[in-house]
C-alpha cells in the first residue's frame, strides 16, 4: 500500500538548486523541501522494539491516547472511574463511538487518528474498529516501524528513558539496546521533582543518599547518573517542571539540580532539557489526562543560563503566555535552545503563532517541533501536521525576504530546513554517533 505522506520532492533534473526562485515558485519549493527532508524527532515517548510491551502501537493505543481521553469525558456520560475499569479494547471502542461516530472528529487529536487510518488506506467512517484492528494485528513490528518512519518522513527519534521506572530499568539492565533509529534521553523527574518518594530507591541500589539530599547525596546522585549514562548513552537529560518552578530557591530539587544534575551534564557534555509549565494532576480522576498548564516565571531560565554558562539548556514551555519570553531569553543566551510546541501548544493555530514569532526573533536557530508521540503511528499525523503548518509560514518568510531585496534559492531553503529539523538537533544532542 502506498503511503500518502510525505510527498516526494521533484526538482527539475537540470536544476542545481542555485537558481534564483520567482516569488510564485517559493511555496512549491518550500513544500517540496519539507516533504523530502527527513526530520529528527527530538522528544517522543516511543521505544525501540527490544523494549517489548513498553512500546505502544496500533489502533487501540491510538484511541486511548490521553489527549483523546480528556476529550472523551466531555462527550460521554461515562465517568473516569468507569472508563478506567474497562479493558483497553472496550476503552478504545467507547472513545471511537463517542468522538468518531456520535460526533465529528474535528479536534486536533481526533483528526490525527483519522489521518493515520487514511495513511494506511483504512476506512475512517466505520461504526466499529474491526477492519483497523485486523490490519494492525497482521503487522510485524520491525517492518511496521520502518514503514511508519518513512511515512512520517523521520529518520531518528529520541525516546524518554526513566532509570527509576520499574518496568523500564530491568530492560536496560538485561539486554543490549542499540537500534539505528532510536536514541535515549535520561529522564530525571523522579530525582528532581519527586525526590521524597524516590531517594529510597537509590539508597536501596547502594547510592549513599538521604531524604534531604544532604552530605554525600549530590555526589552519589552524580554517580547514579554516570552509571546510567554508561547504560543508556543518552543524548540529553530531561525533566518536566511545574509552573511553580523557580531557580534559585532553597529547595531539595534546586540543590540536586545545581550540585548533581548540572555538573553531571557538564562533565558528560549533555544538554539538559527543561519542559516547564505543567500543573500536575489538576484533575487526578483523569490520571495521565489530568494535568493542566500554568504560566511559569522564566526568570529561572535567565538565572540558570547565566549562572551555568557552560551548560546547555533545551527548553520547551507549556504556556502560550511564556512563548515570547522564551524567544527573548534565547536571544540573550546562546546556551539556550527553544524546542517544540509542546502538548497543549501543539495545535495549528498556536504552532503557527509560536513558529512565526521564533523565526522573526531567532531566524533558524531553534528546533521548531517534536512529536511527543506516545504511540508509534502518531508520528505520521503529527509530522504531517507540522509540515502543513510550517509550509506557509516559511514561504511567507522567504517572500518577505525577496520583497526586502534578497534573492532566495532552493539550496537556501534546503539549508534552512535541514538546520531547523536536523542539524540544530544533531549538533546539540550529538546525534550522529552511537
- Point out which residues bind Zn ion (CB under 5 A): 372
**Interface with ligand RAT, residue 343, by CB under 6 A:** yes
Q: What's the closest the beta carbon of residue 99 comes to ligand RAT, in angstroms? A: 18
Q: Which is nearer to Zn ion, 168 or 372 (CB)?
A: 372
Q: Which of 159, 256, 275, 314 forms a contact with ligand RAT (CB under 6 A)?
A: 275
Neighbours of 366 (CB within 10 A): 24
**Interface with ligand RAT, residue 339, by CB under 6 A:** no
Residues 6+ apart with CB under 8 A from 102: 75
125 close to 395: Cβ distance less than 8 angstroms:
no
Q: Which is nearer to ligand RAT, 293 or 305 (CB)?
A: 293
Q: What's the closest the beta carbon of residue 342 comes to ligand RAT, in angstroms? A: 6
Q: What's the closest the beta carbon of residue 363 comes to ligand RAT, in angstroms? A: 26
* H or E element that contains 410: helix 410-418
How far, in whole angstroms, is CA 327 from its chain's centroid?
A: 19
Read off φ and ψ for residue 292, nearest 5 degrees: -125, -165
Q: What's the closest the beta carbon of residue 46 comes to ligand RAT, in angstroms? A: 11
**Interface with ligand RAT, residue 240, by CB under 6 A:** yes
Q: What's the closest the beta carbon of residue 370 comes to ligand RAT, in angstroms? A: 9
Tell me the number of residues near ligand RAT by CB under 6 A: 7
Q: Which of 32, 325, 372, 377 forms a contact with ligand RAT (CB under 6 A)?
A: 372
Q: Which is nearer to ligand RAT, 160 or 217 (CB)?
A: 160
Cell of 159: 525516546
Site string for ligand RAT, 131-170 (x = CB under 6 A): -----------------------------x----------
Cell of 70: 480528556
354: Cα within 13 Å, side-chain hemisphere: 29
Question: Distance (Å, rounded) from C-alpha 305 to C-alpha 149?
Answer: 35
Q: What's the closest the beta carbon of residue 237 comes to ligand RAT, in angstroms? A: 13
Question: Distance (Å, rounded) from C-alpha 93 to C-alpha 237?
Answer: 37
The entry of ligand RAT, Zn ion, none near residue 374 (CB within 5 to 8 angstroms by kind) is: ligand RAT
**Interface with ligand RAT, residue 374, by CB under 6 A:** yes
Classified as helix, coil or strand, 237 is: strand
**Interface with ligand RAT, residue 193, by CB under 6 A:** no
Q: Which is nearer to ligand RAT, 45 or 177 (CB)?
A: 45
Cell of 90: 472496550
Q: Which is nearer to ligand RAT, 158 or 209 (CB)?
A: 158
Q: What's the closest the beta carbon of residue 333 comes to ligand RAT, in angstroms? A: 23
Q: What's the closest the beta carbon of residue 19 comes to ligand RAT, in angstroms? A: 42
Q: Which is nearer to Zn ion, 43 or 312 (CB)?
A: 43
Question: Distance (Å, rounded) from C-alpha 130 to C-alpha 171?
Answer: 33
Burial of residue 81, with CB atoms counted within 10 A of its CB: 0-12 exposed, 13-18 middle, 19 or more buried: exposed
62 close to 114: Cβ distance less than 8 angstroms:
no
**Interface with ligand RAT, residue 109, by CB under 6 A:** no
For the sheet with 39-41, list strands across it: 39-41, 154-158, 182-183
**Interface with ligand RAT, residue 371, by CB under 6 A:** no
The entry of Zn ion, ligand RAT, none near residue 343 (CB within 5 to 8 angstroms by kind) is: ligand RAT
Question: Distance (Å, rounded) from C-alpha 357 to C-alpha 59?
Answer: 36
Q: What's the closest the beta carbon of residue 47 comes to ligand RAT, in angstroms? A: 14
Q: Which residues pair with 157 in a beta bridge?
A: 41, 182
Q: Which is nearer to ligand RAT, 160 or 385 (CB)?
A: 160
Q: Which is nearer to ligand RAT, 122 or 238 (CB)?
A: 238
Q: Which of 310, 234, 247, 233 is nearest to 276 (CA)?
A: 247
Question: Distance (Å, rounded) from C-alpha 201 to C-alpha 178?
Answer: 26
Question: Distance (Å, rounded) from C-alpha 63 to C-alpha 91?
Answer: 8
**Where does this chain bind ligand RAT (CB under 6 A)?**
45, 160, 240, 275, 343, 372, 374
Amino acid at each position: 500500500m502506498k503511503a500518502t505522506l510525505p510527498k516526494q520532492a521533484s526538482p527539475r533534473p537540470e536544476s542545481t538548486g542555485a537558481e534564483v526562485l520567482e516569488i510564485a515558485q517559493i511555496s512549491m519549493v518550500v513544500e517540496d523541501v519539507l516533504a523530502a527532508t527527513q526530520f529528527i524527532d527530538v522528544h517522543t515517548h516511543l521505544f525501540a522494539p527490544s523494549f517489548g510491551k513498553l512500546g505502544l502501537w496500533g489502533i487501540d493505543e491510538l484511541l486511548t491516547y490521553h489527549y483523546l481521553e480528556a476529550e472523551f469525558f466531555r462527550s460521554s456520560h461515562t465517568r473516569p472511574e468507569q472508563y478506567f475499569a474497562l479493558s483497553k479494547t472496550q476503552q478504545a471502542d467507547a472513545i471511537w463511538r463517542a468522538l468518531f461516530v456520535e460526533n465529528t472528529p474535528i479536534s486536533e487529536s481526533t483528526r490525527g487518528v483519522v489521518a493515520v487510518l487514511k495513511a494506511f488506506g483504512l476506512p475512517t467512517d466505520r461504526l466499529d474498529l474491526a477492519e483497523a484492528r485486523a490490519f494492525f494485528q497482521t503487522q510485524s513490528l520491525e517492518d511496521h516501524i520502518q514503514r511508519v518512519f518513512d511515512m512520517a518522513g523521520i529518520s531518528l527519534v529520541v525516546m524518554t528513558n526513566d532509570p527509576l521506572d520499574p518496568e523500564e530499568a530491568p530492560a536496560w539492565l538485561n539486554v543490549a539496546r542499540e537500534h539505528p533509529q532510536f536514541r535515549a534521553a535520561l529522564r530525571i523527574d523522579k530525582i528532581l521533582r519527586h525526590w521524597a518518594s524516590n531517594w529510597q530507591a537509590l539508597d536501596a541500589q547502594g547510592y549513599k543518599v538521604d531524604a534531604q539530599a544532604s552530605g554525600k547525596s549530590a555526589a552519589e546522585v552524580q554517580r547514579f547518573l554516570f552509571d546510567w549514562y554508561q547504560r543508556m548513552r543518552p543524548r540529553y537529560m530531561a525533566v518536566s517542571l511545574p509552573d511553580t518552578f523557580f531557580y534559585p530557591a532553597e529547595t531539595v530539587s534546586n540543590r540536586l539540580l545545581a550540585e548533581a544534575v548540572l555538573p553531571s551534564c557538564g562533565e558528560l557534555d549533555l544538554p539538559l532539557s527543561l519542559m516547564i509549565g505543567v500543573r500536575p494532576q489538576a484533575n487526578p480522576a483523569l490520571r495521565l489526562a489530568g494535568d493542566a498548564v500554568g504560566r511559569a516565571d522564566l526568570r529561572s531560565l535567565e538565572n540558570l543560563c547565566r549562572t551555568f554558562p557552560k551548560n546547555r539548556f533545551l527548553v520547551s514551555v507549556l504556556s502560550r503566555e511564556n512563548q515570547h519570553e522564551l524567544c527573548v531569553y534565547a536571544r540573550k543566551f546562546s546556551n539556550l535552545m527553544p524546542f517544540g510546541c509542546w502538548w497543549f501548544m501543539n495545535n495549528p493555530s498556536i504552532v503557527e503563532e509560536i513558529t512565526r514569532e521564533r523565526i522573526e526573533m531567532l531566524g533558524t536557530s531553534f528546533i521548531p517541533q517534536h512529536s511527543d508521540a506516545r504511540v508509534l503511528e502518531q508520528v505520521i499525523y503529527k509530522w504531517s501536521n507540522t509540515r502543513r503548518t510550517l509550509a506557509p509560514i516559511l514561504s511567507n518568510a522567504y517572500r518577505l525576504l525577496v520583497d526586502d531585496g534578497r534573492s532566495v534559492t532552493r539550496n537556501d531553503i534546503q539549508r534552512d530546513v535541514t538546520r531547523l529539523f536536523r542539524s540544530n538537533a544533531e549538533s546539540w544532542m550529538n546525534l550522529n554517533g552511537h
